[in-house]
Structure 1
Amino acid sequence: MIKFISDIEHYDIVLNLVAKARRSLWIGTADIKDLYVMRNGMNLPFLAILSELIDKGVEIRLIHAKEPGQPFRKDFDSYPLLAKQLERMLCPRVHFKIIVIDSFFCYIGSANLTGAGMGMKSQLRRNFEAGIITDEVNILNSVVEEFDKVWRGSECLKCQRKQYCPDPLIWK
């Protein structure tokens, strides 16, 4: 299955699938902000969903390009499990937007992990976003490899942005 999605479907489809992860969740985004979602009639920080997933034993890896702002940090600090078990990496070169759920389903597209990109923003305040969701094995394997080569530091030696990297994996 390969499905094109746009705009509000990022919230309606992708974030709902993320909340159903059972084993692993890999998220790659250039920008991450204080994203909120509706859950059981309440507005919750997306970080609450991530904390719940970790509590259920889901391995979560997050790669993002820059440090998030104060509202995100405040919410992050409200979930101590995230500080202990969320695997997080900063890479100033990351511009891809990738989400891999349980190694069998992925999103690839334009939306950052922000309210305007994926969150609860109104139709008048949302970005115009486009992407695909798929469980197609060939695409999924390529997406996993793209994420993993950054995660394991394969790109570090040729990066040429080490002076901007707050979290270098390889310094040679």
Structure 2
Amino acid sequence: MKRFLLPFLLLSEVLLSQVCFSTVDDLSFLVISHLKSASDVTIVAYSIDPEYLGLKSPEMVVEVPVEGAFVHISEGLLHSKFIVLDHETVIFGSANFNRSSLEEHLNNLIVFHSEEIASFFENIYDWLVFGKKPQAQLKTKEGKFFLIPVVDGEKIVLDALWKAKRYVLLCSYAFTDEDVFATLKFLSSRGVEIYIITDEWFESSRLRDFPLGTFHVLEVKEPLMHHKFLVVDGKYLITGSANFTESGFHRNVEVMFETSNREYVESFVEEFDRIWRGYFVQGVRF
């Protein structure tokens, strides 16, 4: 029975968009099983472990040098994380493609099955390797994709925040962006409930010097909290590879995904709730 079940599961993952979280899903299995079934693979990521992934001859662009990959060199980091399979499937999210990121850290990955979305991501590879003009953004039925630094990531986040009427959920590794923080302070003064899950970067940043006021903050100590997402009023979601930092919004090579798709939004609200309630991690609240 198991022989027939695995191909069915893989087929389901390819045909349907799928949101996965390390708190409840095996991200390692998700990535490696898709790679095994693909004949054409393109990877762009900050860090890749080809041996761990069982890669044979993929096209790769990396920030951290690895044998066989094109190494990105520019002012900002290559910080995006995505895989394109057979020109039609994309695995994209907060996780780097190595053992620790997929198995140990708090991360998310979304699987899209769309030639249109795959083409957008393949254009990023062509931009990084061949210098071709990239596509700055893409609007699809799934949501909107934005390429940073071609697009101002901070503006996208701030525009979403100004829609907040009831609450904001912000879950981000290395949250240090002062404009986002100031906007959250203003929203809080208007009665919007602000919930933040972050990591030890926040404790050592300038933001920690400012009064937190009515903010609800959870600083996750372990495992490494590597998510990057924002939910506004349970209606809007922004996620992707960009940390909520000045460099993440303006200098690094990042991909940001914005959507009001109810299934995506609700899945990230549930993930925020899992972490906030301490089902999987230990943290410190302020």
TM range (shorter): 0.7 to 0.9
- 1:132 aligned onto 2:275: no
Q: 1:4, 1:133 within 8 Å by CA — same for their partners in 2?
A: yes
Q: 2:172, 2:243 within 8 Å by CA — same for their partners in 1?
A: yes
Q: 2:230, 2:239 within 8 Å by CA — same for their partners in 1?
A: yes
After superposition, what is the alpha-carbon deviation per residue over 1:32-71, rounded to whole angstroms, capped at 9, x for unaligned?
A: 12x24xxxxxxxx432211110011101100001143353
Q: 1:67, 1:90 within 8 Å by CA — same for their partners in 2?
A: no
Corresponding residue SS for 1:31: coil
- The code of the aligned residue for 2:216 comes to E
Task: Measure, in 1, the Cα distance between the counterparts of 2:256 and 2:262.
Answer: 17
Q: 2:160, 2:236 within 8 Å by CA — same for their partners in 1?
A: no
Alignment equivalent of 2:200, drawn from 66, 90, 104? 66
Task: Measure, in 2, the Cα distance between the counterparts of 1:90 and 1:70.
Answer: 13
Q: 1:129 to 1:12 in 2, by over 3 A?
A: same
- The code of the aligned residue for 1:155 comes to F
Which residue is 2:75 aligned to? none
Post-superposition shift, 1:19? 2.7
After superposition, what is the alpha-carbon deviation per residue over 1:79-128, rounded to whole angstroms, capped at 9, x for unaligned?
A: xxxx231000011331111100011110111111111112xx5xxxx111
Which residue is 2:77 aligned to? none
- The code of the aligned residue for 1:57 comes to G
Report sequence identity in percent. 29
Q: Structure 2 unaligned runs (5+)? A: 1-140
Q: 1:133 to 1:70 in 2, by over 3 A?
A: closer
Post-superposition shift, 1:11? 1.7
Task: Measure, in 1, the Cα distance between the counterparts of 2:245 and 2:214.
Answer: 22
Alignment equivalent of 2:163, drawn from 16, 20, 27? 20
CA RMSD of aligned residues (A): 1.9
Structure 1 ranges of 4+ moved more than 3 A: none
Q: Which has the higher contact order (CA 8 A, sep 6+)?
A: 1
1:1-150 matched pairs, under 5 angstroms: 1=141, 2-7=143-148, 8-33=151-176, 35-36=177-178, 45-68=179-202, 69-74=204-209, 76-77=210-211, 83-92=212-221, 93-118=224-249, 121=250, 126-150=251-275
Task: Measure, in 1, the Cα distance between the counterparts of 2:257 and 2:275.
Answer: 21
Corresponding residue SS for 2:248: coil
Aligned pair count reads 139
- The code of the aligned residue for 1:101 comes to V
Corresponding residue SS for 2:213: helix
TM-score normalised by L of structure 2: 0.45
Q: 1:98, 1:147 within 8 Å by CA — same for their partners in 2?
A: no
TM-score normalised by L of structure 1: 0.73
